[in-house]
Amino acid sequence: MIVHEGTLDARGLRVAIVAGRFNDFIGKELVEGAVGMLRRLGAADDDVELVWVPGAFEIPLAVQAAASSGRFDAVLALGVVIRGSTAHFEHVAGQSAAGIARVQHETQVPCVFGVLTTDTIEQAIERAGTKAGNKGAEAAATAVETVRALQSLRGGN
């Protein structure tokens, strides 16, 4: 049996991070976690680019621009959507997730969904570097492993 499996080696990979500025006190922690993980996995600072957009609803468009550019091996989508008392949460979170998934399938570039969708600010803070780890760092590791698995499957590195 032939097994294709990704590694956590980011050396030489070009990664775009698209981050929503809304709730940026949490979003900045996700970005720092992602950048820190990419560095630990061997990515060079020059191979990582950060794009800020207003919020989670705008993330898919910037993810599409990055993934379609041919410049990146993976794109991370990072942001925060916190449930409120209206249906706004479902619309923003759902459209963000669907848009990012669509871009990934259309471009064949791994686009990792690292948008926190939580009920409370406290839950978001926990997922941005406290009790529940840093979901930005997890998204970065997921992107690297996925790129490497696809390279193996496609007969590359």
Q: Which residues are catalytic?
A: 88
Angstrom distances, CA of residue 88 to CA of 7, 28, 83, 141 = 38, 23, 8, 30
Residues in contact with 40: Cβ distance below 8 Å, sequence separation at least 6, in sequence order? none
CB atoms within 10 A of CB 132: 14
CA distance 51 to 90: 24
